[in-house]
Amino acid sequence: MKPVISVKGLTVAYDDRLALVDVSFVFPKPAFLSIIGPNASGKTTLLKALLGIVRPLTGSIEVLGFKIPDEKYEVRRLVGYVPQRERIDPTKPVLVRDVVLMGRVARRGWGRSLLEEDYRAAERALKAVEMSEYWDEPYVHLSGGQQQRVLIARALAVEPKLLLLDEPLSGVDAATQDVILNVLREEADRGVGVVMVTHDLNPLMEYSDYIMLLNKTVIAYGATHEILREELLEKTFMRRVSIVRAEEKVVVSGVDYHA
């Protein structure tokens, strides 16, 4: 089986500012990977590079066995992407179901009509995030946390082989975080690759299989219990960090800013 993601020597710059420097890693098989790093450390840029949205200066990328950027359209059909802080024009009368069905449009290709199975997949996705009752609601009537769940449903509706989620937990309460993390855990258990960018380290011990610490380059990458260590987090965030372990729970403090 081809690795879910394989990245070698990836360097990305915006004009003359380097956002990623010589990033290399292999995500060999479907599992739950979390990417952690401070603001401006290149997390969003890495996800965009995987989708061929930003072009590398140097390096090679393969996603699901396809070369990026050459085969980016093949990859985009197989990936559910939840961008960071997406806004849908509040003046547009978009319903929740339209947002979720966009995931099916992306999968089929633009201009094709949607079939019964597309509606079924969209309904299943909305149910997975516990938002079924909002199918006919205007999207703008939802709270921020509810909107985030709908955007995750849109990514699930693709029936993806890989999910890329950029800060899906930011600005949502603990109950919504649990809903989201449970869905992502289930997807990973069903053989979907899950890559989540997050600031919130605390739920990771319970949910995430692997962690990458990123600060323009890969500081550390491995199994969650190996990576959640004070010295590695301090190197990544360049500040004091403390980890307290109590009865299976792990509490990290010092990395307490919000996006």
Which parts of this chain interact with ligand ATP (CB under 6 A)? Answer: 14, 17, 19, 37, 39-45, 84, 259
Does 41 bind Mg ion (CB under 5 A)? Our answer is no
Using CB under 5 A as the binding criterion, the count of chain residues that bind Mg ion stands at 3
CA distances from 213 to 5, 144, 145 (A): 16, 27, 26
> Is 9 or 191 the residue whose CB approaches ligand ATP more closely?
9
CA distance 126 to 155: 10
Q: Considering the complex, what minimum distance in angstroms separates the CB of residue 37 from ligand ATP?
A: 6
Are the beta carbons of 58 and 11 closer than 8 angstroms? Answer: yes
With binding defined as CB under 5 A, does residue 44 bind Mg ion? yes
Residue nearer to Mg ion on the CB measure, 66 or 237:
237
Q: Please list every residue from 49 through 88 that binds Mg ion, using CB under 5 A.
A: 84
Q: Which is nearer to ligand ATP, 37 or 160 (CB)?
A: 37
Structure tokens at 237: 């965030």
Looking at the Cβ atoms of 43 and 72, the one nearer to ligand ATP is: 43
Handedness of CA 10, 21, 57, 35 (dihedral sign): positive
The site partner of 146 among Mg ion, ligand ATP, none (C-beta below 5 to 8 Å per kind) is: none
Is residue 34 near Mg ion by the rule CB under 5 A?
no
Which of ligand ATP, Mg ion, none lies near 19, with the C-beta cut-off 5 to 8 A by kind?
ligand ATP
Pick the stretch among 26-34, 35-43, 113-121, 131-139 that binds Mg ion (CB under 5 A): 35-43
- Round to whole Å and give the CA distance between 64 and 27: 10
Residue type, 257: Y
Instruction: Estimate to the nearest angstrom the gap between the alpha carbon of 175 and the chain centroid.
Output: 19
Spatial contact of 132 and 100, defined as CB atoms under 8 Å apart: no
**181 HSE (CA, 13 A, CB side):** 23
Site residues (CB under 5 A) for Mg ion?
43-44, 84
